[in-house]
Structure 1
């Protein structure tokens, strides 16, 4: 139950920090403004090669490749009659990580919040509104909360329930660091606010925690 508790704690803390950044203060917009050039009327690093290609596109595809490699490993264990416990753990990581990404994308599809670069404050025309505020008429295209890119890192919180001791702590630190880097890239480019990244971490942690609880209660096959 330790890993599940850790995941739920990450989710709870991330939600609180997101509310503090977006609803209870102006931190979201203050951080975004650091990377916005009023003279150019744009986020000047939006198309930066290192950020947009290496740390955005490549990082996303690296996560996809890692997931597919794990899937192939699980299939190999299944066909070869490998250790049932290892196969079960790999299967959990596959399902929980996929569910986390799916949840983030479903939430994003329903979101009325637009990306910073669409907002009037940052060269666009859409209105900014805080979490839980009524949606204004000119909210823009929306579909920007949570962050899909950050989910490609935070999805790997799914490994925590199958690890123990120092390995779990190291994995948790690594995933949170990777998610932080992926999120920072999008904040710098003007694609997301800090709260978007934090809520992505919360969604992934919650889904993985609930999946772990279900996994524990399911009989082994």
Structure 2
């Protein structure tokens, strides 16, 4: 099967997200839709959101879900470090020690990590870059969360991100845009790009699962008053564009534009593709 054309590749991966960003800007940022939705979860009598003080909900939807992205990041770092171990052992140890590793079946595992060094490097770098970009926008827009605004009993004026954006320096102390909790779920898109590189047949279901997960991570903060709905959508767009740019730098357009393989295993020769840090 032929690869996707250059125009279609960039149209799908950059043009479509930018189109969604334009629609999002018009539908949410230029209207009061965010406020209308959050109002449905706010009780004026108690001056609080319905789930703002629910500790069980907070633990279930905010603290426990962090395990998944945190574990992914930790495993990626460990895998990256192990990927450098096999070449070092080959240079620093004699044949007997290598034979010992072979006998206890550690050598195949170490060779596997070394062969997938680029993938582990990509996971670590992409998650780090994406986290940095999200924090950049948080500090350079200074958007306050709903519960912190005067609309819902807070002391800060509600502002849209573009009203207070500063390119080169921090805009203030607000740190609510884009959604940080949602972005932690969306960072698992790094796994999608690794799967896309190898044309894994479950690549598209993985993409769908990660997008749904990120939406759940972000949307559960709305009835707590800690985010507006649009914050989650913006988080998804920002993370996608950042992840895509990093994947493009690591793997190249030709590799990422290959059609998905529908057979049960990876395409022949996939494991033999050079994956050094380059």
TM-score range, shorter chain: 0.7 to 0.9
Aligned residue number for residue 64 of structure 2: 58
1:109-188 alignment to 2 at 5 Å? 109-133=139-163, 141-163=173-195, 164=199, 166-188=201-223
Cα offsets for 1:34-57 (capped at 9, x unmatched): 111111111131122343112101
| Superimposed CA distance per residue, residues 53-75 of structure 1 (whole angstroms, 9 cap, x where no aligned partner) | 12101112332122102221232
Q: Which residue is 2:81 aligned to?
A: 75
Shift of 1:202: 1.4
Counterpart of 1:31 in structure 2 is 37
Change (3 A) 1:53 1:125: same
Task: Decide whether aligned partners of structure 1 residues 142 and 41 sit closer, same or farther in structure 2, where only a CA change above 3 A counts.
Answer: same
Confirm or deny: 8 A CA contact 1:22 1:130 kept in the other structure: no
Displacement of 1:86 in angstroms is 2.3
- More helix per residue: 1
* SS of match in other structure, 2:187: helix
Residue pair 2:69, 2:185 contacting (<8 A) in 1 also: yes
Closer/same/farther in 2, CA of residues 134 and 49 from structure 1, 3 Å limit: closer
Question: Residue 239 of structure 2 is aligned with which of 200, 204, 220?
Answer: 204
Tell me, what secondary structure is at the counterpart of 1:187?
coil
Query: In structure 2, what is the Cα distance between the partners aligned to 1:83 and 1:33?
Result: 50
Alpha-carbon distance, 1:2 to partner: 7.9
Secondary structure of the corresponding residue to residue 142 of structure 1:
coil
* Cα distance in 2 for residues equivalent to 1:36 and 1:87: 49
Cα distance in 2 for residues equivalent to 1:18 and 1:63: 26
Among 194, 207, 215, the alignment partner of 2:229 is 194
Q: Which residue of 2 aligns with 1:108?
A: 138
Shift of 1:154: 0.7
- Give 1:9 deviation, angstroms: 5.0
CA distance in 2: counterparts of 1:59 and 1:14, whole angstroms: 26
Report the Cα distance in structure 2 between the residues aligned to 1:4 and 1:61, rounded to whole angstroms.
33
RMSD between aligned residues: 2.8
- Displacement of 1:161 in angstroms is 2.3
Kept in 2, the 8 Å contact 1:22–1:131? The answer is no
Retained in 1: the 8 A contact 2:66–2:184? yes
| Structure 1 unmatched ranges of 5 or more | none
State the structure with bigger RCO (CA 8 A, min sep 6), 1 or 2. 1
Per-residue deviation, residues 128-156 of structure 1 (Å, max 9, x unmatched): 23343368xxx994221111111110111
Q: Distance in 1 between matches of 2:192 and 2:20?
A: 17
Unpaired stretches in structure 2, ≥5 consecutive residues? 1-6, 86-109, 166-170, 253-274
Q: What is the TM-score with the length of structure 1 in the denominator?
A: 0.85
